[in-house]
Amino acid sequence: MHKYILRRLLYLIPVMFGVSLVVFTMMYFTPGDPARIMLGESAPAEAVEDLREELGLNDHFVIQYGNWLKDLIFNGDIGSSYRTRRPVSDEIIDRFPTTLRLAAAGVAVSVVVGVPIGIISATKQYSFLDNASMFTALLGVSMPNFWLAMLLIIQFSVNWDLLPSSGLDSPISYILPAITLGTSSAATIARMTRSSMLEVIRQDYIRTARAKGQVESVITNRHALKNALIPIITVIGLQFGALLGGAVLTESVFSIPGVGRLMVDSIGARDFPVVQGGVLFIAIAFSLINLLVDILYAFVDPRIKSQYK
């Protein structure tokens, strides 16, 4: 299995190269001059030109990309933000732990809420509980993120004065953002859990276990759930990856300085190095999560483990 992991890690390199080239090209051709945006529309044209020279914006596309690659490979430097002049790595690393914690909290909420609902729906299919759960799941997926965030703030922060409305000063600050993030993920996970469980419950070995007199709860939680886990873990992994990419709307409403907001602000300001570095970082994080999920498969299903050579 170690060779498998190593191989997967090596695959990251061409992927990163491809991602960086695509992002660079997109940013290069997007209208909007970083220098002009930074200096404001009242700045004299010479000042804008000076700044463009300073940032190397007048160089040819190939030269700019080449310089960036060179700095990355030989100096381990992914550049500095045009706006703050801080190293891009600092900008991202400042914010990544926050995003990581937020994503983890969101996933935790979605798993804790989604999986049990999915199980109950599956075991009591077509009952009122099942229909109600699926309806709630539909609501959860359809609700706009920021709207839910606003409602939660108004109720818990303003009316009941229980939880903070912005920032991340204390552990309880994570509650409202986590609920906001977790809600739509919970819905997706609930539905996936339900359909996966339904498939498994119809299997012969479940009927056998029941025939042998096994307790229903053990059948559900050990036999059925464990076999249904693969698609569920996949979805959880995807959700986590998506949240790591930054839950921009939630971050904006709660004023949480995460990677998502950094990316959106940087794109708006055409802060190329930050966008470049940020997308690369998110791509790596996402790939690593996928790898982790694949490894988890091996532990959940021994048949898969043997395939990893």
Partner 1 sequence: MLVGLIGPLSLALTACETRSSNELTNRLVVAQASDATSLDPQGANDVHSALVNTQIFETLVIKDDNSQILPGLAERWELLDDGLTYEFYLRENVYFHNGEEFTATDVEFTFLRALDSPHVAHILGQVDPNGIKVINDYKIQIATLEPNAPFLQHLAHSSAAIMNRTAVTESGEQVGQNPVGTGPFQFEYWLDGEYVQLKRYEKYYGEKPAYKELMIKVITDNTNRTLALKTGEVDITFNLPTSDVNMVEKNEHLRLFRLANFITHHIGFNLTKEPFNNVLVRQAINYAVNASQIIEDVLNGVGEVATSPISSNVWGARADLAGYEFNLEKAKKLMLEAGYENGFSASILTANTGISPDIVFNVVNQLSKIGIEINIRQLEWGSFIESISGNDHEMYMMGWSCVTGDADYGLYSLFHSSQGPKAGNRTFFADDRVDELLDLARSTININERLEAYYEVQEIIVEEAPWLYLVTGETLVGARANVRGFRINPGGHHKFASVYFQ
Residue 91 binds partner 1 (CB under 8 A): yes
The contact pattern for partner 1, residues 233-272, with x = CB under 8 A and - = no contact, is: -------------------xxxx-x---xx--x--xxx--
For the CB of residue 24, give the shortest distance to partner 1 in the complex, in Å.
17
Residue closer to partner 1 (CB basis): 38 or 296? 38
39 is a site residue for partner 1 (CB under 8 A): yes
Q: How far is the CB of 77 from partner 1 (least distance, A)?
A: 13
**CB 116 → partner 1: shortest distance, Å?**
31
Taking a C-beta distance cutoff of 8 angstroms, is the pair 109, 254 a contact? Answer: no
Cα separation values, 135 from 63, 144, 222, 258, Å = 55, 16, 27, 32
Q: Per CB under 8 A, does 145 bind partner 1?
A: no
Q: How far is CA 201 from the centre of its chain?
A: 31
Specify the amino acid at residue 41: E
d(CA 204, CA 200): 9
Of positions 43, 163, 238, 300, contacts partner 1 by CB under 8 A: 43
Rg (CA), the chain: 24
The residue count for the chain: 309
CB 174 within 8 A of CB 250: no
Q: Is 84 in the site for partner 1 (CB under 8 A)?
A: yes
Contact 105, 180 (CB under 8 A): no
What sign has the CA pseudo-torsion 286, 95, 184, 178? Answer: positive
| Count of residues engaged in binding partner 1, rule: CB under 8 A | 56
Q: Output the smallest distance, CB 54 to partner 1, in A.
A: 7
Sequence-separated (6 or more) residues with CB below 8 Å from residue 203: 227
> Residues interacting with partner 1, by CB under 8 A?
30-48, 50-51, 54, 83-86, 91, 94-95, 144, 146-147, 150-151, 153-154, 157-159, 161, 164-168, 252-255, 257, 261-262, 265, 268-270
